[in-house]
Structure 1
Amino acid sequence: MFEAGISINDLLPFIAIGFAAQLIDGALGMAFGVISSTLLISMGVPPAAASAGVHTVETFTTAASGISHLAHRNIDGRLFARLVIPGMIGGVCGAYLLTQIHADTARPLVLAYLSAIGFYLLWRGIRHAHKPRQPKVIAPLGLIGGFLDAAGGGGWGPVVTSNLLVQGADPRKTIGTVNAAEFFLTVTISATFLAALGLEAFTIATGGLLIGGLVAAPFGAVIARRVPARGLILMVGVVLTLTSLYGIYRALA
């Protein structure tokens, strides 16, 4: 839980992480959970606590981001309906699994998963070539994305957004819809962590991430309309890969 006497200097690193991660997430439909969790775990935060804190923050940031995307007409209602329920089911299962694993065991496994996402995003950025068509595999993506998001502290966006784009979905609508659906996912996951871990899971990092994320949330929808995705995907891949590998080194050292 939060401690008395917290200074702005204690919050600043987490505010910076929250701002940068949400700015990228709002523009790409991915990366807030992955970047935040990767950095928190590499700083020594237990995986379950990192995931719980990140998802609590995302409850607020995804609401703000979803409203912004709705205002910019970036949401596909039919795609949203097919993603949200499977995502919530997968999120509950992933959150419960993570709370049953000892932190020392989970940390290298979670960081390995996050580094794999980083490599995958690098590959997607390099091989970027979009051919518009209607995606066919949607509900299974929601289920897997929700599970990995809770178990790894991030993964909903990288799994769901990237795979929908691979199938040919419209980038702007995909990013906006995945962001909006993530609100319901994070509420479900946060409630599961709260029931399993109690309030002790939510630390000073949660407050810093929340402040930074809320400040950045309105800008993502604007970026999604104006900036090409390829460069941002490559940047996310580089950041995730380096931070994850560094976290694995520290966890195994």
Structure 2
Amino acid sequence: MFDLSAASIEAILPFIAIGFAAQLVDGALGMAFGLINSTLLVSVMGMPPALASASVHAVETFTTAASGVSHVLHKNVDWRMFRRLVIPGMIGGALGAYVLANVDAAHAKPFVMAYLAAIGLYLLYRAWRGRVEPRTPKIIEPLGLAGGFLDAAGGGGWGPVVTSNLLVQGSAPRETIGTVNTSEFFLTTTISATFIASLGFAAFTLQTLGVLIGGLLAAPLGGVLAKRVPARPLMAMVGVLLTLTSAFSIWQALSK
């Protein structure tokens, strides 16, 4: 658990900033909390990758709850879509956590990221073309299953996989982002419970506390941004974020 005897504002402030920035992006665009946190914690703050991954999932249990409440209050949630996503997502998350504990899933990551980069470019094209007419998506449950599995096994993937594919099917950006963020709470709770059962409370460190504080401070703002930004710019921002983060992940995987 937290060792508060060694705590100081100078020690914890960088982690608060990281958590705030990651959650602000995730709450507004429906993705990238895990990727931004993990990248900055490992590459900038020097945390071991396994500890960073466990810490992020522990924090997400709380930040997704706060973000989900914000989206519910701002009426960004499509409850029919929520019901179709949440159960497959939890099942996929439990399977992914099991695979992470028993099989090395890192070899598939570059292929998944290449697919997501292509989706990001397509979303940019749709936003540039100017046609963002909402349609009812047909493929939902398989996305929940795949997104939950990749999130647990690959250290991230719920937002990029589910949000982007629902947008490609024509789902309205605001409701898509709100619904995916709200259902993510149940996914992260399932994954975190699995990690805690395996690791105990080793993931709860002073750094985790900083990321948690920053994430909770930013969580209410995501629902406001998603509600107020028009559909076309919102889709363009999702496309840019998805393309850049996927390209960065591919570069990391190929440079090892």
* TM-score normalised to structure 2 length: 0.84
Counterpart Cα distance in 1 of 2:109 and 2:12? 24
**Alignment of structure 1 residues 100-249 onto 2, 5 Å:** 100=102, 109=107, 112=110, 116=114, 119-120=117-118, 122-129=120-127, 130-227=132-229, 228-237=233-242, 240-241=245-246, 244=249, 247-248=252-253
Counterpart Cα distance in 2 of 1:240 and 1:118? 9
Q: Partner amino acid for 1:73?
A: K
Q: 1:217 to 1:6 in 2, by over 3 A?
A: same
**Alignment of structure 1 residues 64-83 onto 2, 5 Å:** 64-83=66-85
Q: 1:23 to 1:164 in 2, by over 3 A?
A: same
Q: Partner amino acid for 1:135?
A: P
Q: Is 2:10 the partner of 1:5? A: no
Counterpart Cα distance in 1 of 2:70 and 2:193? 24
Provide the residue aligned with 2:37 in structure 1. 36
Counterpart Cα distance in 2 of 1:222 and 1:141? 26
How far the C-alpha of 1:90 sits from its partner, in A, is 0.7
Provide the residue aligned with 1:21 in structure 2. 22
Counterpart Cα distance in 2 of 1:117 and 1:18? 27
Provide the residue aligned with 1:98 in structure 2. 100
Q: 1:19 to 1:114 in 2, by over 3 A?
A: farther
Counterpart Cα distance in 2 of 1:212 and 1:55? 15
CA RMSD of aligned residues (A): 2.6
Would the aligned equivalents of 1:75 and 1:174 in 2 still touch at CA under 8 Å?
yes
Partner SS state of residue 199, structure 1: coil
Counterpart Cα distance in 2 of 1:53 and 1:110? 23
Counterpart Cα distance in 2 of 1:249 and 1:6? 38
Counterpart Cα distance in 2 of 1:177 and 1:230? 15
Q: 1:231 to 1:8 in 2, by over 3 A?
A: farther
Identity of aligned residues (%): 60
How far the C-alpha of 1:203 sits from its partner, in A, is 2.8
Partner SS state of residue 202, structure 2: helix
How far the C-alpha of 1:134 sits from its partner, in A, is 0.9
Counterpart Cα distance in 2 of 1:146 and 1:241? 18
Counterpart Cα distance in 2 of 1:100 and 1:45? 23
Counterpart Cα distance in 2 of 1:12 and 1:232? 28
- Structure 1: runs of 5 or more not aligned: none
Q: 1:48 to 1:146 in 2, by over 3 A?
A: farther
